[in-house]
A and B are shown apart, each in its own frame.
Chain A
């Protein structure tokens, strides 16, 4: 076990567990925001991602994302079924932890990204179609994009983009895919928000905030100054995102809401994901503040204007705040924070912004087209959405044969 560092290993393995904990967090966050008749189907979307993608990842997913480069586009299958992946470190990706631990850490990212998309299609998508979707989507969209951005010789990585914890790979990717999925699958009968358990959603959001420390600080892949900086940028941006969101709703709707506070915090966390290890905590404050405000306008105003039914705002939160976070990273990044990074616009370097604009365009385009094609292909073999009657009766009963709250059965 030469070159391995015990502290780094302990840190990353714990961070991986924190990212896994974001799955129940997301399940509660999303579950609280749907009607009581759909809470189990929504919860199961998150857990299904954990179950399905955990297997996909060690079979082929990891290799497609991080295996030997094919044209900068995708990894080869040389590491499929974890062939030749063991306890020795892989110096290219993380030089002080076992290669297998890097696999596990990255696995949780693939899991949570697929789960995020479920927010866009909640309360109407059929379960078999959802399973097929996350499997195909992770294989053909997530894995290649992870390779572009993080894989050795990935084309965006070679272009010089900075993506500390998945602004491109997780946030923009899931947000845009969610938007396209919401449009392809169509609106629910009743599109106005009808959260059946707001404290549950708020608890889920709080768990996401905690999990994000593993997500962002853990992405340093070693317990060092960059990890500490990422921890603080993450927390700062979450707080600033909550402020940005609540100030907007307070001014416009005259009420500061609890769900708005936690939604803003999540938008702040999304926004700082890309730059967490490259910007200062003070820069993270601006990134979060703007991310929270933009997310408010996307959810409260843009969605109503354009008329798409992104049920739980995967796009309004992850897409919009993710795109801003990518631009924010290009503006605020500093080599003084992380010598492995680059300087941003405020330090006179416009090259990073150019690379990030290309990255945003490429990831958004590929995610949008890919999601559309995958859903169309699935629609040949399975119905994408429930019937109107089943939607009215609720997905818990009609798709899963169980009810969440059996309060009248003594």
Chain B
């Protein structure tokens, strides 16, 4: 077990969030942060119609799930997320993995790996 702390960002469709959270719980993830975000990838936006007038909607609603881990290997998180989110279609989402320099738990002042336990 290394000392490395890793942050995994998963951006995907809001419809898949529940399944993703369930799967992350099963591998023992103890904390996540979720934001509603807007964006587009390869699929760009979609078309909506108001009173017969077509409107190009460029940004779609997405969720961004942020997880910082040390005990559980990042590969396991990425693999789990891939399994849950994969349909093979555009719009499945993206996963980003970063190194984390430090973590502070505000209530106790613990730092680094201790703050994640």
Q: Interface on A for B, CB 8 Å cutoff? A: 33, 192-195, 245, 248-249, 252-253, 255, 257, 259-260, 263, 296, 299-301, 303-304, 313, 316
Please provide the 6 A-B residue pairs with the shortest distance between their CB atoms, ordered closest to farther: A300-B52, A193-B50, A249-B52, A253-B49, A299-B51, A263-B51
B53 at the interface (CB under 8 A from A): yes
Beta-carbon nearest neighbor of A191 in chain B:
B53
Supplied contacts A195-B50, A313-B51, 9 more A-B pairs, CB within 8 Å: A192-B53, A193-B53, A253-B54, A257-B50, A257-B51, A299-B53, A301-B52, A303-B53, A304-B53
- Interface residues in B61-90 by Cβ distance below 8 A to A read none
Q: How many residues of B contact A (CB 8 A)?
A: 7
> In the complex the two chains form, is A299's CB within 8 Å of B52's CB?
yes
- The smallest beta-carbon distance between B58 and chain A, in angstroms, is 11
Do B49 and A255 touch across chains, with their CB atoms under 8 A apart? Answer: yes
**Shortest Cβ distance from B46 into chain A, in angstroms?**
12
Q: Can you spell out 19 A-B residue pairs with CB atoms less than 8 angstroms apart? A: A33-B50, A192-B53, A192-B55, A193-B53, A194-B55, A245-B52, A249-B49, A252-B52, A253-B54, A257-B50, A260-B51, A263-B51, A296-B51, A296-B52, A299-B53, A303-B53, A304-B53, A313-B51, A316-B51
Chain B residues lying within 8 Å of A192, measured Cβ to Cβ, are 53, 55
Q: Nearest Cβ in chain B — how far from A197, in angstroms?
A: 12
Q: Please, which residue of chain B has its CB at the minimum distance from the CB of A317? A: B51
Closest to B49 in A: A253
B 10-54 to A, binary, CB cutoff 8 A, 1 in contact else 0 = 000000000000000000000000000000000000000111111
Give the chain A neighbours of B49 by CB distance below 8 A. 249, 253, 255, 257, 260
In the complex, which residues of chain A have a beta carbon less than 8 angstroms from the beta carbon of B52?
245, 248-249, 252-253, 260, 296, 299-301
Measured CB to CB, the nearest residue on chain A to B52 is A300
CB-CB under 8 A from A316, the residues of chain B are 51
Nearest-Cβ distance from residue B54 to partner chain A, whole angstroms: 7
List residues of chain B with CB within 8 A of the CB of A253: 49, 52, 54
Rounded to whole angstroms, the CA-CA distance of A260 and B50 in the bound complex is 7
In the complex, A255→B49 CA distance in Å? 8
Residue numbers in B under 8 Å from A300 (CB-CB): 51-53
Cα distance, A249 to B54, chains bound together (Å): 11
Contacts of B55 in A (CB 8 A): 192-194
The residue of chain B having its C-beta at the shortest distance from the C-beta of A253 within the complex is B49
Q: Which residue of A lies closest to B54 (CB)?
A: A253
* CB of B71 to closest CB in A, whole Å: 34
Identity of the chain B residue whose Cβ is nearest the Cβ of A263 in the assembled complex: B51
Residues in B with CB closer than 8 Å to A259 are 50-51
Interchain nearest-CB distance for A158 vs B (Å): 39
Which A residue sits closest to B55, measured CB to CB?
Answer: A192
A168: shortest Cβ distance to chain B, in Å? 25
Contacts of B53 in A (CB 8 A): 192-193, 299-300, 303-304
Q: How far is A252 from B51 in the complex, measured between Cα atoms in Å?
A: 12
Which residue, of B49, B50, B52, B54, has the highest number of chain A Cβ atoms within 10 A?
A: B52
CA distance A255 to B51 in the complex (A): 11
Query: In whole angstroms, what is the CA distance A316 to B53 when docked?
Result: 12
Cα(A395)–Cα(B49), bound, Å: 25
